[in-house]
Amino acid sequence: MTKKQYNNFCLHIDERNIATITLDVPGHPLNILNASVIQELDDIVRQVENSNSIKLAIFQSGKESGFLAGADVNAIAAISSATEAINIVETGQNLFQRIEWLPIPTIAIIHGPCMGGGLELALSCDYRVARDNSSTRLALPEIKLGLIPGWGGTQRLPKRIGIRNALSMILTGKQVNATEARRMHLVDDAIDPDFWERDVPRFVDRIYHGMKPAAPDRTWKHMLENSRLGRGFILHMAGKSISGKQESYPALGGALRAIQASYGRGPEGFATERNEFVELLGSQTCRHLLDLFFARERARNLHTWTTAKGQSQSPASISHIGIVGAGAMGAGIGQLAAVRGYDVSIREISEPAAKAGNDRVNQLINDLAARKKWSSRKTDRLRSKIKINCDEAVLDQCDLVIEAVTERQDVKNGVFAELDTRVQKSAILATNTSSLSVSRMSEATRRKNQVAGLHFFNPVHRMELVEVVRGEATDAPTVRQLVSFVKALGKTPIVTTDTPGFLVNRVLFPYLGEAVRMVQEGINPELIDREVRRFGMPMGPLELLDQVGLDVAHHVANSLHEILPDVNPVLEFLEEMLAQGHLGKKSNIGFYHYQNSKRGPSAITHENEAKSNTALIHDFVDDGLTPIQRRLVYPMLIESVRCHTQEVVHEAWAIDMGMVLGTGFAPHRGGPLHLIDAIGAHNLLINLRQLRDQFGPRFTPPKALVVMSAMGNKFFGPEETPEEALATTT
Ligand code: NAD
């Protein structure tokens, strides 16, 4: 029996000559693949290659947090030349190839996250077993960074799980749990955590004694799909399905080409994978998605949002959440908090409203349980964490109460005044308002310093961003506690000042308003929405307005009067629609007709496309946008600059992240301020002046942009990337 301790690994060889290679990267909560891990793994593999006695090798993690979270993203972002990239890719490819070629059986024992390079390592082993619990997740998520797997993932995965499953995992980066992984033969066994200690050694024993796991039962469908003809057809269809997105997301095409090459002869597939990876690493999309990755990390760092003075104090813990109002938002927030382990009490205004709220929460819980295939016991346990009633005292002992009632300042002030008299003195009172003043609500209480905004987006379970709004009197410990709470919910926080619309609605509404004006001018709603989707937004502005509800949009736009000075024509147009009962999707008619929640044709009379499009053509400096895109996107750029100047959110990276996560602003473009840098302040100024002359003063360039243009400044110098800023805060 021998044991050798490395910096990151422990190599243990037992009396049966089974080598167990355990990874435990020091100083990291999760194992990651960095240069030193790769170097040590290379040494260990060489030792196994040179040994005549080792009979079997096991790869596992020494951390309870998981197997391997993937390559170090910092190291990927720091690659500075194609030669360096080629070296790194080839080193990993060769190492994993050597593991695959080892003459002895190899097994990866997986629990927790097994992502990216972690899954590629596991795929180079002969066998894989995974612990069947909720924290086990397997994925090749590189596409989310604008990359493709570079260490053999595109080559081995299709062979292992079939072309269709592999395409779905690689092109979307989706995660699968142990049961799904077993179903698609990505792992040979999904082991119940209760029998983990017993069944893992049993699995190893069987392999040791030469018993192979039963070969997967291949159905005729699987065989057809993976025949040469079937494969060709599936790849062709996949190519068609990504054809509209490839320009913005070149990694989709790169992944497809690498997968296609995996069926070629010899090392050709690995070379294609390597070349595609290296080329993608230099793409703008990849740089923007990497920036976004670091921005998220930075936003989740408590120190980003709180002053150095308060850092030593750790936030008091919140365990019991109160919510006022079980409408769309209150129910969503309540369900999410319960899922994350909090006790939740919701107070409603009447018995029927409480009953309706209860139905809403139950629906959300049932949908989640169906998605996750939960047992009824687990579902009931979650349900029991949420209490909804009209009992006045129900919120008294809560640590945090979130108000989510009707969007009216007088109603909200009344709720805050009453909460202040009842709820324990240490509790924080927060509001989910979209557009009203947090500071005014705080004035209704005697704990102004403990009042803040907590602006969730709809639907709560799906939207990642939460705006934490600092009112005029909100103190640092309150902000810190709310940021921690948002993180504990699995969301990304952004701290904003208390100005109308905070960040996201403030930037979004001028754009939505411009879309309404274009409809008023006779431009086809379908054309507007199509152009915006081509720009990279997940849906067009008019589809979004229909979804939000025109009554809600009207209400918010009205409260943003201060920042939308010439909004009256937009409000009047919406009022006409509302007067006809056109509320959007919920009334089956808005800018579009709807049937069974499906969008139908436009419900607005419009002029023909060619005419409406040419009416916008002018002599603009080329900014890569079409006339319709320019007219719609520029208002967001103007407002983002204003938010930056007025420090609604302190830093440029955070504004961009907020707009991408809060509205889906074309992620491949990096956010509105990255887009301004790409267009150039000078070019933007010229185009804005033209738009102002054509459409009015709302397109007047903000002063800050004029200064930027004169000074040749950008928002993001090389020294201001979120990645480097992160390095200074962690
Ligand atoms: P909603 O109308 O669906 O729900 C409001 C609920 O509050 C109702 O169930 C009502 O019975 C209850 N209520 C009213 N007064 C009450 C009181 N005094 N005590 C207890 N309950 C009371 O509204 P919603 O869409 O959930 O919005 C709630 C808040 O969230 C608003 O401030 C809104 O601006 C904000 N918001 C909404 C969205 C959205 O898309 N719906 C998104 C972000 C923020």
- Any atom of ligand 1 within 6 Å of the Cβ of 627: no
Quote the ligand 1 centre to 472 CA distance (angstroms).
24
Pick from 406, 441, 461, 502 the residue to mutate for probing ligand 1's pocket: most ligand atoms within 8 Å of its CB.
406
Question: Is 50 exceeded by the pLDDT of residue 298?
Answer: yes
Q: Which of 672, 729, 714, 699 is nearest to 288 (CA)?
A: 672
Region 554-568 average pLDDT: 87
Region 66-85 average pLDDT: 96
pLDDT score recorded for residue 534: 95
Region 709-724 average pLDDT: 74
Instruction: Judge contact between 504 and 457, C-beta under 8 A.
Output: yes
The contacts of residue 181 (CB under 8 Å, 6+ apart) are 128, 130, 138, 187, 190
- Any atom of ligand 1 within 6 Å of the Cβ of 278: no
Can you give the residue ranges of every domain in the chain? 2-143+150-220, 317-497, 504-539+608-711
Instruction: Judge contact between 294 and 77, C-beta under 8 A.
Output: yes
What are the CA-CA distances from residue 450 to residues 263, 419, 438 (Å)? 61, 12, 11
Question: Is 50 exceeded by the pLDDT of residue 315?
Answer: yes
pLDDT score recorded for residue 718: 65
Band of pLDDT at residue 728, cut at 50, 70 and 90: very low
pLDDT score recorded for residue 265: 75
Q: Pick 228 or 60 by higher pLDDT.
A: 60
What are the tens digits of pLDDT across the range 431-468? 999 999 999 999 999 999 999 999 999 999 999 999 99
pLDDT score recorded for residue 1: 84
Which entry of 124, 484, 505, 640 is annotated as an active-site residue?
505
Question: Is 60 exceeded by the pLDDT of residue 313?
Answer: no
Q: Where do runs of H (alpha helix) occur along 61-177? A: 73-78, 82-101, 117-124, 153-161, 163-172
Question: Is 70 exceeded by the pLDDT of residue 310?
Answer: no
pLDDT score recorded for residue 616: 55
Is 403 a residue of the active site?
no
Q: What percentage of the chain reaches a pLDDT higher than 70?
A: 95
The reply to whether domains 2-143+150-220 and 504-539+608-711 share a CATH topology is: no
What are the CA-CA distances from residue 250 to residues 143, 278, 283, 580 (Å)? 10, 12, 8, 45
Region 273-282 average pLDDT: 97
pLDDT score recorded for residue 605: 79
What are the CA-CA distances from residue 307 to residues 304, 314, 451, 703, 729 (Å)? 8, 13, 18, 29, 12
Pick from 329, 349, 560 the residue to mutate for probing ligand 1's pocket: most ligand atoms within 8 Å of its CB.
329
Place of tokens 């004006």: 517
Region 266-276 average pLDDT: 93
- Any atom of ligand 1 within 6 Å of the Cβ of 250: no
Question: Is 90 exceeded by the pLDDT of residue 604?
Answer: no
CATH annotation of 504-539+608-711:
1.10.1040.50
Question: Is 50 exceeded by the pLDDT of residue 570?
Answer: yes
Helix axis angle, 284-299 relative to 250-261, nearest 10°? 110
Question: Is 70 exceeded by the pLDDT of residue 614?
Answer: no
Question: Is 80 exceeded by the pLDDT of residue 414?
Answer: yes
Band of pLDDT at residue 128, cut at 50, 70 and 90: very high
State the closest ligand 1 atom to the C-alpha of 353, by its place in the atom list counted from 1. 11
pLDDT, the chain, mean? 93
Rounded to 5°, angle at Cα 458 from 244 and 395: 160
Is 434 a residue of the active site?
yes
Q: Which of 638, 618, 610, 650 is nearest to 702 (CA)?
A: 638
Q: Which of 664, 656, 658, 659 is nearest to 720 (CA)?
A: 656
Question: Is 50 exceeded by the pLDDT of residue 132?
Answer: yes
Quote the ligand 1 centre to 433 CA distance (angstroms).
9
Residue nearest to atom 19 of ligand 1 (CA): 349
State the closest ligand 1 atom to the C-alpha of 412, by its place in the atom list counted from 1. 18
Superfamily of domain 317-497: NAD(P)-binding Rossmann-like Domain (3.40.50.720)
pLDDT score recorded for residue 608: 59
Region 209-228 average pLDDT: 85
Quote the ligand 1 centre to 415 CA distance (angstroms).
12
Q: What are phi and psi of 356, to 5 degrees?
A: -65, -40
- Any atom of ligand 1 within 6 Å of the Cβ of 434: yes
Distance of alpha carbon 26 from alpha carbon 7, whole angstroms = 8
Is 713 a residue of the active site?
no
Sheet holding 465-470, edge to edge: 386-389, 343-347, 320-324, 400-403, 428-431, 451-456, 465-470, 492-497
Distance of alpha carbon 584 from alpha carbon 571, whole angstroms = 15
pLDDT score recorded for residue 611: 56
Q: Pick 662 or 608 by higher pLDDT.
A: 662
Question: Is 50 exceeded by the pLDDT of residue 719?
Answer: no
Looking at 3.40.47.10, 3.90.25.10, 3.90.226.10, 3.10.350.10, the CATH number of the domain 2-143+150-220 comes to: 3.90.226.10
pLDDT score recorded for residue 40: 98
Quote the ligand 1 centre to 329 CA distance (angstroms).
6
3-state secondary structure of 405: coil
- Any atom of ligand 1 within 6 Å of the Cβ of 405: yes
Instruction: Judge contact between 152 and 93, C-beta under 8 A.
Output: yes
State the closest ligand 1 atom to the C-alpha of 414, by its place in the atom list counted from 1. 18
Distance of alpha carbon 73 from alpha carbon 115, whole angstroms = 12
Region 504-528 average pLDDT: 96
Region 637-659 average pLDDT: 97
Question: Is 50 exceeded by the pLDDT of residue 126?
Answer: yes
Band of pLDDT at residue 617, cut at 50, 70 and 90: low
Is 524 a residue of the active site?
no
Region 225-232 average pLDDT: 90
Band of pLDDT at residue 217, cut at 50, 70 and 90: confident
Band of pLDDT at residue 562, cut at 50, 70 and 90: confident
pTM: 0.92
Which entry of 40, 273, 403, 467 is annotated as an active-site residue?
467
- Any atom of ligand 1 within 6 Å of the Cβ of 325: yes
Region 393-400 average pLDDT: 96
Region 70-92 average pLDDT: 96
